């Protein structure tokens, strides 16, 4: 069999790396955090890294310096940094060798490369210029909206990458929101979503932004049509109230239907688009364009950190390597993402898509089935709420769950009170730090039901405050971390074929429903679908 070369010219695969074998040996006796004298203040001071305003504390992971060296060797053998450079320079990274695939550049980093030391590669410059033009257009459009002051409410219609990132960002930046501006989201095709959202809105004051890269997503297209009908029924011209964000040439790219159209490009994947107008529109509308700019600055700072060779400055690579250690060598199936910040309540849901849609893959970039584990299951809720929900399993369950904890020194609003000697923010931070220590050390007890096994790994991303800059840096941390993991596994993190089958089957069932309404054009026999539909008759 001829070995296919990857983008760096290498034929090496994850399991064939020397470092993989070394790490497998090391994983037979990983660092024991429960052993007396092993989790020390010195260790917590030493295992740290820093970039773009974040400290990364990982003394509570089951690693030694040797483990970290071996993980770096693995990154080296799989050319992880070289691939990151190629990605940011605009080489085609989204492909499966020898099979029809998207064959695209992956340039979401160009969406914010507007600051110091922009990428000098020709393709990156071109993409950055295109993105900047669109950002300027957004700035002008928002300034016009500010002057007219006609719209108080923004209704975002979109799903997946066209909703999750924007929603997470909106929640995170609410502190910066102008009092007269409100944002609402309609993602699901569930009619209750529209009904409950529109019920309290004064449509004359509503600007609808329909976001769909493909311009053909069933949920978004349906919700847009329903909304247009509601506007028409209210005697309002929809074309004055609707804005589109879509790819050039998509079915939505029709100037007659919208007050303005902002474009997306095939070099930015949907789930990687939230720093474009997709997420930028609502930030600029609700909080002001400068807030969006600060957010981009944060993204850019972490993008640059992702190019650093020094692991102590490259948080995305560090996070990726620890994730691979836990997933492939310590055999964890899951990663819990727990922000100790209520403003990041929607962040785990966004991360879920960024990670699971990217790295939930079973073939490598050569189309071969992989013989190792790829992306973990991601879930999460804000701490401390999470502690009162599922931490029981994390402390004493039979499935080890590594954690990515996120925290901030200061709250956003700064409105806090000292009660019993501490502020609420201090109580929140105490819980964050306490969990990382308790999970690591565990606790012996004669009563087995009160014993904690410990050795449950976690790390903490810690920043001064959840500012727009810090939010951008956090987004870029995850985007680049996921890309690094894909590079090291040798998979394509940038397509999403796995979502197609369900959509095709759903369309067959939709056609069966349509036939019941007398629309028989697309209907084909589908006995399995009919068998399930039959159950509706008895309800």
User: How near is the Cβ of 110 to ligand F6P at its closest, in Å?
Assistant: 19
Which residue(s) pair with 404 in the sheet? 337, 459
What is the contact mask toward ligand F6P in residues 443 to 482, using x (rule: CB under 6 A)? ----------------------------------------
What are the backbone dihedrals phi and psi of residue 455, each rounded to the nearest 5 degrees, phi first? 60, 30
| 16 counts as binding ligand F6P under rule CB under 6 A | no
| Of the residues 33, 72, 159, 238, which one makes contact with ligand F6P according to CB under 6 A | 159
User: How near is the Cβ of 350 to ligand F6P at its closest, in Å?
Assistant: 11
CB-based contact 316:404 (threshold 8 Å): no
What is the Cα–Cα distance from 66 to 269, expressed in whole angstroms? 36
- Restricting to residues 248-287, name those near ligand F6P by CB under 6 A: 270-271
CB-based contact 124:110 (threshold 8 Å): yes
Two tokens, residue 196: 């409950």
Q: What does 17-35 look like in DSSP terms, one character per residue?
A: -HHHHHHHHHTTS---TTS
The active-site residue out of 61, 102, 134, 357 is 357
The active-site residue out of 388, 427, 444, 450 is 388
β-strand pairing of 182-186 with 206-212: unpaired
Q: What does 208-237 look like in DSSP terms, one character per residue?
A: EEEEESSS--HHHHHHHHHHHHHHHHTT--
Q: How far is CA 23 from CA 32, 69, 157, 314, 399, in A?
A: 16, 10, 46, 21, 21
| 374 counts as binding ligand F6P under rule CB under 6 A | no
| 441 counts as binding ligand F6P under rule CB under 6 A | no
SS3 359: helix
| Of the residues 30, 59, 160, 382, which one makes contact with ligand F6P according to CB under 6 A | 160
User: How near is the Cβ of 69 to ligand F6P at its closest, in Å?
Assistant: 37
What is the Cα–Cα distance from 249 to 268, expressed in whole angstroms? 15
What is the Cα–Cα distance from 345 to 348, expressed in whole angstroms? 7
CB-based contact 228:242 (threshold 8 Å): yes
What is the Cα–Cα distance from 326 to 314, expressed in whole angstroms? 19
**Strands, sheet with 182-186, edge to edge from the N-terminal-most edge strand:** 182-186, 153-157, 206-212, 242-247, 260-264
Classify 454 in phi/psi space as left (phi over 0), alpha (psi -120 to 50) or beta.
left
What is the Cα–Cα distance from 305 to 299, expressed in whole angstroms? 10
> Whose Cβ is closer to ligand F6P: residue 128's or residue 212's?
212
| Of the residues 220, 326, 358, 366, which one makes contact with ligand F6P according to CB under 6 A | 220
User: How near is the Cβ of 370 to ligand F6P at its closest, in Å?
Assistant: 21
User: How near is the Cβ of 166 to ligand F6P at its closest, in Å?
Assistant: 11
What is the contact mask toward ligand F6P in residues 178 to 217, using x (rule: CB under 6 A)? ----------------------------------xxx--x
Q: How far is CA 399 from CA 266, 278, 331, 396, in A?
A: 39, 37, 10, 9
User: How near is the Cβ of 221 to ligand F6P at its closest, in Å?
Assistant: 8
> Whose Cβ is closer to ligand F6P: residue 159's or residue 287's?
159
Residue 357 a catalytic site member? yes
Residue range at the interface with ligand F6P (CB under 6 A); choices 34-42, 158-166, 222-230, 517-525:
158-166
42 CB neighbour count, 10 Å cutoff: 9
| 499 counts as binding ligand F6P under rule CB under 6 A | yes
> Whose Cβ is closer to ligand F6P: residue 160's or residue 166's?
160
> Whose Cβ is closer to ligand F6P: residue 244's or residue 406's?
244
| 485 counts as binding ligand F6P under rule CB under 6 A | no
- Restricting to residues 338-367, name those near ligand F6P by CB under 6 A: 357
> Whose Cβ is closer to ligand F6P: residue 145's or residue 247's?
247
| 161 counts as binding ligand F6P under rule CB under 6 A | yes
What is the Cα–Cα distance from 245 to 211, expressed in whole angstroms? 5
> Whose Cβ is closer to ligand F6P: residue 155's or residue 429's?
155
Alpha helices in 442-499 (DSSP H): 468-489
> Whose Cβ is closer to ligand F6P: residue 52's or residue 155's?
155
User: How near is the Cβ of 536 to ligand F6P at its closest, in Å?
Assistant: 25
Residue range at the interface with ligand F6P (CB under 6 A); choices 156-164, 339-347, 402-410, 448-456:
156-164
Q: Among 446, 483, 520, 380, which residue's Cα sits nearest to residue 79?
A: 483
Dihedral sign (CA 288, 289, 290, 292):
positive
| Of the residues 314, 358, 384, 496, which one makes contact with ligand F6P according to CB under 6 A | 496
User: How near is the Cβ of 229 to ligand F6P at its closest, in Å?
Assistant: 20
User: How near is the Cβ of 270 to ligand F6P at its closest, in Å?
Assistant: 3
User: How near is the Cβ of 499 to ligand F6P at its closest, in Å?
Assistant: 4
CB-based contact 399:526 (threshold 8 Å): no
What is the Cα–Cα distance from 167 to 193, expressed in whole angstroms? 15
| 375 counts as binding ligand F6P under rule CB under 6 A | no
By CB under 6 A, how many residues form the interface with ligand F6P?
A: 14
> Whose Cβ is closer to ligand F6P: residue 98's or residue 498's?
498
Residue range at the interface with ligand F6P (CB under 6 A); choices 153-161, 291-299, 510-518, 531-539:
153-161
Residue 503 a catalytic site member? yes
The percent helix, strand, coil of the chain (3-state, each to 5) is 50, 15, 35
What is the contact mask toward ligand F6P in residues 106 to 145, using x (rule: CB under 6 A)? ----------------------------------------
Annotated active-site positions, please? Answer: 357, 388, 503
Applying CB under 6 A, the residues found at the interface with ligand F6P are 159-162, 212-214, 217, 220, 270-271, 357, 496, 499
């Amino acid at each position: 069999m001829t070995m296919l070369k990857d983008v760096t010219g290498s034929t090496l695969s994850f399991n064939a790396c020397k470092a993989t074998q070394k790490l497998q040996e090391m994983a037979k006796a990983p660092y024991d955090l429960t052993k007396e004298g092993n989790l020390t203040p010195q260790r917590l001071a030493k295992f740290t890294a820093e970039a773009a305003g974040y400290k990364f504390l990982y003394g509570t992971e089951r690693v030694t310096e040797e483990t970290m060296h071996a993980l770096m060797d693995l990154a080296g053998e799989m050319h992880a940094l070289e691939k990151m450079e190629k990605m940011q320079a605009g080489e085609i990274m989204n492909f499966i060798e020898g099979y029809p695939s998207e064959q695209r550049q992956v340039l979401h980093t160009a969406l914010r490369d507007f600051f110091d030391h922009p990428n000098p590669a020709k393709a990156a410059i071109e993409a950055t210029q295109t993105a900047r033009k669109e950002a300027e257009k957004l700035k002008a459009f928002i300034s016009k909206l500010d002057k007219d002051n006609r719209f108080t409410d923004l209704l975002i219609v979109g799903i997946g990458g066209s909703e999750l990132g924007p929603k997470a960002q909106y929640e995170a930046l609410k502190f910066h929101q102008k009092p007269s501006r409100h944002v609402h989201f309609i993602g699901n095709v569930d009619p209750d979503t529209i009904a409950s959202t529109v019920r309290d809105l004064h449509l004359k004051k509503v600007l609808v932004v329909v976001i769909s890269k493909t311009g053909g997503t069933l949920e978004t297209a349906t919700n847009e049509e329903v909304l247009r009908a509601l506007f028409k029924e209210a005697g309002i011209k929809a074309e004055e109230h609707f804005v589109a964000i879509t790819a050039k040439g998509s079915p939505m790219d029709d100037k007659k239907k919208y007050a303005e159209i902002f474009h997306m490009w095939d070099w930015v994947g949907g789930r990687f688009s939230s720093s474009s107008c997709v997420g930028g529109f609502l930030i600029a509308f609700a909080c002001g364009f400068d807030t969006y700019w600060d957010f981009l600055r944060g993204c850019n700072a972490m993008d640059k950190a992702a190019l650093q060779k020094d692991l102590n400055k490259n948080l995305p690579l560090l996070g990726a390597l620890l994730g691979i250690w836990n997933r492939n060598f310590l055999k964890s199936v899951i990663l819990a993402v727990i922000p100790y910040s209520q403003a990041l309540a929607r962040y785990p849901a966004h991360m879920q898509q960024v990670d699971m849609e990217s790295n939930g893959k079973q073939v490598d970039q050569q189309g071969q089935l992989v013989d190792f584990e790829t992306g973990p299951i991601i879930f999460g809720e804000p701490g401390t709420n999470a502690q009162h929900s599922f931490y029981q399993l994390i402390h004493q369950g039979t499935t080890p769950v590594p954690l990515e904890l996120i925290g901030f020194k200061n709250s956003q609003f700064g409105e806090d009170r000292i009660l019993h000697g501490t502020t609420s923010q201090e109580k929140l931070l105490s819980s964050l730090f306490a969990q990382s220590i308790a999970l690591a050390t565990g606790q012996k007890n004669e009563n087995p039901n009160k014993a904690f096994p410990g050795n449950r790994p976690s790390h903490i991303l810690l920043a001064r405050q959840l500012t727009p800059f810090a939010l951008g840096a956090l987004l870029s941390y995850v985007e680049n971390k996921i890309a690094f993991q894909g590079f090291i596994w040798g998979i394509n993190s940038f397509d999403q074929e796995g979502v197609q089958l369900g959509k095709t089957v759903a369309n067959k069932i939709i056609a069966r429903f349509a036939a019941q309404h007398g629309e028989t054009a697309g209907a084909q026999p589908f006995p399995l679908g009919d068998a399930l539909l039959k159950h509706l008759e008895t309800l």
